[in-house]
Every structure is written in C-alpha cells, then in structure tokens.
Chain A
Amino acid sequence: MTRTLKEQVVKNALLLFTFASIVVLGLIVAFLFMEGIPIFQVVSLKDFILGVEWYPTYDPADYGIGALIVGSLVVTLCASIVAIPLGILSAVYIAELAPGSIKELFKPVVELLAGLPSVVLGFFGMVVVAPWLQNTFGLATGLNIVNASLILAFMAVPTIASITEDALYSVPMEFREASYALGATKAETIVTVIVPSALSGISTAVMLGMSRAIGETMVVLMVAGGAAILPESIFDPVRPMPACIAAEMGETPFRSAHYHALFAIGMVLFFMTLAFNLAGECISNKFRERGSATL
C-alpha cells in the first residue's frame, strides 16, 4: 500500500468513526418517534400536549401531559431564579475579589461538584431539605417545587459560576483600565463594563445550567413530590416529565398505550432541551457580535 493511499484510508476511517455520534443522535430521534408516535392513535397531539389529566392506568385512560410540562417548567424557572444570581455573583467574587489561593481551588472544586451523582443530591433533598421545609413552613410534605428547585439550583450553580468566570476572565484588561481612568469605582466597572462585555459567555452559562435542570431526572423524581397536577403554590408537589418517565416505565406493559405515551413524553423533552440549547447558541452569538464590534 502506498503512503498516500494509507493516509486516505486513515482519514476516511476516522471520518466514519466521527459520524458515530451523528448516527446515535439519529437513532435516538428515530426510536423516540417509532415508539412514541403510536400514542397519537389514542389521543390527539393537541389533547396530549394541552390536556392536564394524566391518568394512564385508569379505564378509560387520560394521556394529557400539560401538568407534567408545567411541572418541568416551574421547577426549572424557580431553580434559575435561585441559581442565576448566586452563580453569577460567585463568579464575580472568584474573578474579581478572591485571593489567589481560593481562585486556584475554584476550578477543581467545580469539577468535583459537576461529577456529583444526581441520585445523591436527590437523596440529600429527601433526608435533609424535605424535613426542614416541612417543619419550618408547617407543610404536609416537604417534597415539592421549592425542594426540587433548591437542589437543582445547587446542581446548576457550579456550571453557571465556572463558565461565567471564564467569560469574565477573558474581558480584556484595557476595558477595565479605561473605566478606572474615567474615575469609575471597582464595583461600577464590574457592573457597567465587565459584566456587559462578558454577556455572551454568561448567557451560554445560564442556558447550559437551565437545560441541565430541565432534563435532570433523579432529583425531580425523588424530591418534586410526584403529583401530576397543576401547582397552585410553590409548596405544591409536581411531576416533571423526566420523573414521570422514570417512575412509570418500569411498571408499564411493553408496547401498551402507556408505554408509547412515555416515549412521546421523551420526544417532547428531547425537543424542549434542543430548543433550549439552540436558543442559548443564538443568544450567545448575538451578544458575541456586539462585543467584538466594540473591540
């Protein structure tokens, strides 16, 4: 075999391996559709998405996942309200105020936390946060939206803080110096110059943190309470989509309508996270263009 031929073979073989990821992605979509679509012979797409009655084991069964979607959105939203300010402010601390030793400790700690199994966090929510919520607020159950949101926020903060810190760090020194030269205080410089120039990275961080939260399964399965109803307060239990799939797949007969309905929920979840990620990309691109124009 000549050398150039060998090079060609290697290159094409590598390309083939790279396509494995695409093939897997394609197979995920294909199998979600294959197993999910049959549910629409039982229930219309509109009733499936907008219906709020989820009684898959009753006769006649109801397959409306509206309450599940609301559950997912509510816990994600509440988690973001906690995690975004905490994450960004912590990043500001690490990037601008922290002494060197803490700065060096930050990245390894983030990596260790990112590897923390979600089932352990869910467990923590069950045995620590739930009883605490129950006693403090006099609730019937501590497994509810607040609990799930707090734990999800705890998961998302390291991601948000780490990427935000990278973004803050990459703001050119000249920006800072120019701001100081105009007489701005350090806090004014951070708020009006540094954070706005790092918005691209910060928005990526936020979207990534949120898309993690919406797809997270074990935490919401263990601490969100599991009631498939529309919540009326933040102390109500909910049943987010991942929790519903995880809890019910083990008990449903193979290829029953319920089985197909759970795959259809997987489809909805897949496209929701996809939309989240694409939106994140668009937002960060938009801010990036503006940032580079001012350079």
Chain B
Amino acid sequence: MKRRYLKQWAFFLAVRLSALTIALSIAFFFIFIFIQGYSAVSWEFLTKHPQDMMTKGGVMPAIVGTFYLTIGAMAVALPLGVLSAIYLNEYAKEGYVLRFLRVGIRCLAGVPSIVFGLFGLALFVVYFGFGSSIMAGSLTLGFLILPTVIGASEEALSSVPETFREASLALGVSKWNTISKIVLPNSLPGILTGSILSIGRAAGETAPIMFTAATFFTAVLPKSIFDEVMALPYHIYVLATAGTRIEETRPIQYGTVLVLVGMVLMINMTAIAIRSYARKKKRW
C-alpha cells in the first residue's frame, strides 16, 4: 500500500517539475528580452531611420514595413478565409468534395514557411514579375495564414446555435440572408479573435518574406506596393547573423526584438480581450 502512494508521490513530483521547468523558462525568456531591450527602446528608436551602418538610430522603416506586410496579408487572407469558412460550415454537404477540400486545407496548413517563401519567389516575384515587394510578400504571408483564418472562422460559425438559423429560415428569410444577417454578426467576435491571432503570426514570420519582400536597408519609406520594405523580423535576423558589426549592433538587436515581441504580444492580447469581452456579452 505504502509503495503505491510513494509511486504516486514520485509521479506527481515529475509532473509538477515539468510544469515548473516550462513556466520558469517562459518567465526567464520574457524577463531577459524585456530587461535587455528596455534600455535600447526610446522614442527616437521607434521614429528614426537607422544611421551609421546600423549602429545608431532607430527601426522606424522596419516597423512601417511590417505594418504594411501584415495589412496586406490580412487583405488576402480575411475575405478568402471567411468566405471559405462560410461555404464549409453552412453550405457543404458530407461527401467527397468536402473531404477533398478539408484534406487540401489541412495540407496547406502543414506546408513549412520556408516552402511558402520558395513558392512566393517562384510565382509572385519571378513569374508575375512583382519583384521583391510588399505585394509579393503580402500575398505569400496571406496564403500562409489562410488555413488558420479558415479554421478560426469555421469554429466561430459553428458555435452559433442551430436554432438561430432555424428561427430565421422559418420566417421565410433566404439562406444567404440568414447567414449575412444572423450567423455572421453573431460569430464576428470569434472570427475577429482568430484573424487577429493570425495577424500576430504574419507579423513575426521571417522565412516567407526573406526572398519575397524584405530588404536590409532602404533610405526612404516605400512609395508603392511594388517597393521592397524593411521588416522587423528580417532586421533582427540580419543584424544578429550577418556583417562585421554584430557586437556593436547588439543593443539595437535587443531593442528590435523587444519592439517585435511587444507588437506581437499586443496584437494577441487584443484578440484574447475581444474574446473574453464577447463571452461576457454572449446572449446564448
């Protein structure tokens, strides 16, 4: 009898230690990033161009570039994703077409981000002749997050009770009007949460934009969607790995890391806040 409880004690100890290890690593990671980056980030850092071979100045063009790229990615993924989710959840009937679509979307979700980069390079940059540009980068990132947006939107749509649809249909409203007037408004918070989370992902991706949009340095801000841009993740990568001034630019690297992490965390917290707000106001 005693041995069994001893075993239980040992097992729970292992369980608690694992959880503690994870929690401590997470805490250490964020504290480290924050403390190291805090001294580098200032108002100038956020609003100035890089100066003196990247060793001074700020990262403003990279912030702007990341902003453009994520807006572009959203413009691609949000309409396509929501419309696909409406079809999959509201119209599609069980059968081989639906199965085919689902398998395809799942496969797309599993494609590694560097392969998306190759695809963007071959199709948008070279074949369509966009060159390395906001356009090519946004399309690549947009298709990268498309499966996530579809998944989140579908979940939101399916959480709307079936009775809502039935009540509307019983009043003689057509199916499409039921969806656009009843189902979509009620699932909006869920769709927003999922979409904003995927914006966070798009903002932090590096591999897909390496050959399709990002450049190390631009003297001026982009003037059209066919210009190259600087981007925060790519900036971190280049400063940390390439060049002869890796040690000199260390403070700038820490600052850029903190700006990117802060940006992504803020985006994700907005999403989480929207969801908990919507849950409180939920009428069913």
Contacts and interface: CB of A to CB of B under 8 A. Distances in A.
Given A18-B87, A191-B11, A116 B240 contact: no
A contact face: mostly helix, strand, loop, or mixed:
helix
Contacts of B79: 17
Interface of B: 4-5, 7-8, 11-12, 14-16, 18-19, 21-22, 25-26, 29, 32-33, 79-80, 83-84, 86-88, 91-92, 100-101, 104-108, 110-119, 121-123, 126-127, 143, 146-147, 150, 174-176, 197, 200-201, 203-207, 210-211, 233-234, 236-237, 240-241, 250, 253, 257, 260-261, 264-265, 267-269, 271-272
For the side of the interface on A, what is the size category?
35 or more
Residue in B87, B107, B115 whose Cβ sees the most chain A Cβ within 10 Å: B115
Nearest to B14: A89
B175 to A, nearest CB: 6
A262 B33 contact: no
Contact of B113 (A18, A25, A187, A215): A215
Nearest to B268: A115
Interface in A230-257: 242, 245-246, 249-250, 254
A250 B268 CA distance: 32
11 contacts: A14-B83, A14-B86, A18-B84, A21-B84, A25-B108, A35-B122, A108-B272, A112-B269, A116-B204, A214-B112, A222-B237
Nearest to A17: B83
Nearest to B110: A277
A195 to B, nearest CB: 11
Residue in B25, B80, B104, B111 whose Cβ sees the most chain A Cβ within 10 Å: B111
B114 A269 contact: yes
Given A31-B119, A123-B236, A188-B8, A215 B112 contact: yes
A295 to B, nearest CB: 23
Given A15-B87, A18-B84, A215-B115, A118 B204 contact: yes
A34 B86 CA distance: 34
B230 to A, nearest CB: 14
Interface of A: 3, 6-7, 10-11, 14-15, 17-22, 24-25, 27-28, 31-32, 34-35, 85-86, 89-90, 92-94, 96-98, 108-109, 111-120, 122-124, 126-128, 154, 157, 161, 185-188, 190-191, 211, 214-218, 221-222, 242, 245-246, 249-250, 254, 262-263, 266, 269-270, 273-274, 276-277
Nearest to B267: A115
Given A86-B21, A115-B267, A116-B261, A270 B115 contact: yes
A246 B114 contact: yes
Contact of A242 (B114, B150, B203, B257): B114
B233 A14 contact: no
Contacts of A15: 87, 91
In the A-B complex, the 9 residue pairs with the smallest Cβ-Cβ separation, listed nearest first, are A117-B204, A215-B112, A89-B18, A187-B8, A14-B87, A93-B19, A217-B207, A31-B122, A115-B200
B146 A21 contact: yes
Given A119-B237, A246-B114, A24 B143 contact: yes
Contacts of B14: 89
B104 A25 contact: yes
A216 B112 contact: yes
Contacts of A85: 18
B246 to A, nearest CB: 9
